Amino acid sequence: MTPSPPGRILGAFDIAFLTHVEDVCELILVRHGQQSFPDLRTGPIGGIVDPPLSPEGQRQVELVGQRFAEATIDAVYASHLARAYDTGAAIGRHHALEPRVVEDLREVETYRDAPQDKSLVEFVGPAMLTGLRERMIRERKWDVYPFSEGSFEFRKRSRIGGHCGRL
């Protein structure tokens, strides 16, 4: 943040948007690189929980690391998921920082409570899987997926305000 010029009186917008206010940190949110999903019809459900970065995703995280190479970065946080950690590591590498793992930063957990060794087709059947996908497109809510973390649970877990003191 740029310091307020001498004699300047802070206005409502300065206060609301924290411009010209000392000791304000800037939080930059970066989504992980593209992941390499297994075939959802035949691969195990466990493979969709923490898929690795695809070759394109690896290229993306190298580019985002380069993008922030000259920025002032004091800390990097990531979930325990490989794609998020690898993305954070690409940014932190330029600043001699390892990502700090915060478990609750992970995404909504679809099919978390389902048998991880079965495919989605084996678990819910092809007709129900098609119906769930159509319902998700219509409703745009994670709650349509059975045996998954609900939207309320996700929102409660992922509120940034609840973690500020722990980051």
Helix (H, G, I), strand (E, B) or coil at 115: coil
- Residue 53 φ/ψ, nearest 5 degrees: -70, 145
2-34 confidence digits (pLDDT tens): 555 555 676 777 777 777 777 777 788 999 999
- Mean pLDDT within 131-150: 91
Please report whether residue 6 resides in a domain.
no
Total number of domains in the chain: 1
pLDDT in tens, 82-111: 999 999 999 999 999 999 999 888 888 888
pLDDT value for 128: 92
Question: What is the residue range of 77's domain?
Answer: 31-162
Residues 6+ apart with CB under 8 A from 110: 48, 142, 145, 148, 149
pLDDT tens across 45-88, in order?
A: 877 778 899 999 999 999 999 999 999 999 999 999 999 999 99
pLDDT over threshold 90, residue 156: no
Q: Flag whether 80 is in a domain.
A: yes
> Does any domain span residue 14?
no
Q: Could you tell me if residue 96 is inside a domain? A: yes
Q: pLDDT-derived band of residue 162, with 50, 70 and 90 as boundaries? A: very low
Binned at pLDDT 50, 70 and 90, residue 160 comes out as low
Q: Is residue 2 part of a domain?
A: no
Task: Tell me the CATH number at 58.
Answer: 3.40.50.1240
pLDDT score, position 69: 97
Q: Is residue 4 part of a domain?
A: no
Length of the chain: 167
Res 3: pLDDT: 56
Mean pLDDT confidence for 111-123: 88
Has residue 147 been placed in a domain?
A: yes
SS3 97: coil
Which residues on adjacent β-strands are paired with residue 101?
78
Which residue matches tokens 């593209």?
Answer: 34
Higher pLDDT, 112 or 54: 54
